[in-house]
Amino acid sequence: MKRTKYSSDLTDRQWEIIKPLLVLSESRAGRPPKYDLREIINAILYIVHTGCQWRELPHDFPKWQSVYYYFSKYKKTTDGH
């Protein structure tokens, strides 16, 4: 399903810069991810840009629970926990 493009979406150039950092932090074990990692990051950026609540994330993004899971995971990584 093609989704609406938002002003908070990563450009291709931005994605190429951060992709190696995010992919390295992902586990190589287990099942393949259900959602595209770029879409997860775009959803997090949408939340930051608009200030909306997690549950109000537009339906054309991955489920808010999945987005929040990745957000928490990355936050813990950057906090050193």
pLDDT tens sequence across 7-63: 999 999 999 999 988 865 555 566 777 889 999 999 999 999 999 999 999 999 999
48 within domain boundaries: yes
Give me the pLDDT at residue 80, please: 63
46 neighbors 58 (Cβ within 8 angstroms)? yes
Residue 20 falls inside a structural domain: no
Cα 81 to Cα 31: distance, rounded to the nearest angstrom: 24
Q: By the 8 A CB rule, do 11 and 42 touch?
A: no
Asked if the structure places residue 28 within a domain, the reply is no
Flag whether 11 is in a domain.
Answer: no
State the total domains in the chain: 1
Domain of residue 73, residue span: 35-81
**Is 78 among the domain residues?**
yes
Distance CA 56, CA 43 (A): 11
The rounded distance, in Å, linking the Cα atoms of 50 and 8 is 9
What whole-number distance in Å separates Cα of residue 23 and Cα of residue 47? 21
| Alpha helical stretches, state H, the chain | 12-25, 37-50, 64-79
